[in-house]
Structure 1
């Protein structure tokens, strides 16, 4: 196992545990609170939980070849997704958490991290966008967990979790996406205090 693969695995586990810990802090009357766009807190937690559930599904569905070479390729392929369908899947996943979302998310996390620990880096897994190595898929899920755990924290007016490794890995992927999508220069100028980003700027 390489240093990079160890880092990717640890970052994913860190982000997953932070998500579980935050969900435990959701008060009963907060689940219907507006969170992100059209999503409530429950919807957003459901959507975020898919960063765990999709890994479980991918591992249980081996792929025959790696059609996606790396995390950047995954997100480039995802640029054509149906956003309405994504929103619906988030709401459906939120409903599936039933009456005790915190317990459901914690149990899902334990299952998924156990499956990841048992699966080698080079295992080819089937993602929604194509086959890829597990170790290349994990950073996309770390990114989703990191970004949306922050969204949930802000919706609840709670401090964001201390996830330095997951944050570092997510920032690195965001920078790679900025470069790959032709947005590298404005991102660099903004990060170095030379120019503000335009309204709505995103690497996704």
Structure 2
């Protein structure tokens, strides 16, 4: 896909995430959402998909070290072994939403949209230097998957825009292939055997 196609899909994923968040009732912000996370914490984590685009867009890198979005997830996998660090970042992001969390989330989306690249620059990410077009699918993935989590937590409609779902599926399959899980995934998709209950590509 072209950079412009990824940019448009990111915009759609962001619009959908904000649309779901707008359905949160005032009494639901402290309700359970995902594991130990509250609704506020989950929305804060969703907002990080905007803040990382904002931050990384201003951090140029000299060379490409991470070839694509699938490799990004393989590179950061060892960094995700301590759930307490992930939880701490999510909790802090939730608190940073302030007293008007929806307004803050919309502002983050607007700022992220404003810095979307028109040139396929190399940016410095947590995994290393990447093309902007290769990094955006990771943010589409996070926005889409956690929009589903949020919708389920608050009892809202959860259907993703088709192009967002397609981007997530394509990246999921690519990661599974790189991890050597192609046959297990094929069997699950064709009704020939389930994946393990705790299976996840991230």
Same fold, TM-score > 0.5, yes or no: yes
Tell me the equivalent position of 1:144: 142
The residue number in structure 1 matching 2:84 is: 84
Give ranges in structure 1 of 5+ residues lacking alignment. Answer: none
Partner of 1:164: 162
Residue 86 of structure 1: how far off its partner (Å): 1.2
Q: 2:25 is matched with which residue?
A: 27
- Partner SS for 2:130: strand
Work out the CA distance in 1 between the residues paired with 2:12 and 2:97: 22
Paired residues for 1:60-75 under 5 Å: 60-75=58-73
Measure how far apart 1:201 and its partner are: 1.2
Q: Are 1:23 and 1:101, in contact at CA under 8 Å, matched by a contact in 2?
A: no
Supply the distance in 2 between the matched residues of 1:88 and 1:30 (Cα, whole angstroms). 21
8 Å CA contact 1:31–1:42 kept in 2: the answer is: yes
Aligned to 1:103: 103
The TM-score normalised by the length of structure 2 is 0.95
The unaligned stretches of length 5 or more in structure 2 are none
Task: Give 1:95 shift.
Answer: 0.2
Q: Distance in 1 between the 2:119 and 2:164 partners?
A: 18
User: What is the SS of the residue equivalent to 1:79?
Assistant: helix
Task: Verify the 8 A CA contact 2:144 2:160 in the aligned structure 1.
Answer: no
Deviation digits for residues 77-116 of structure 1 (CA, Å, limit 9, x no counterpart): 1111133211110000000000111111111101111110
The CA RMSD over aligned residues, in Å, is: 1.2
Q: Is the 8 A contact 2:71 2:175 kept in 1?
A: no
1:64 aligned counterpart, secondary structure:
coil
Aligned length: 200
Question: 1:131, 1:4 → 2: CA distance?
Answer: 18
Query: Which residue does 1:50 correspond to in 2?
Result: 48
Q: Answer yes or no: is the 8 Å Cα contact 2:23–2:156 preserved in 1.
A: no
**1:120 CA drift (Å):** 3.1
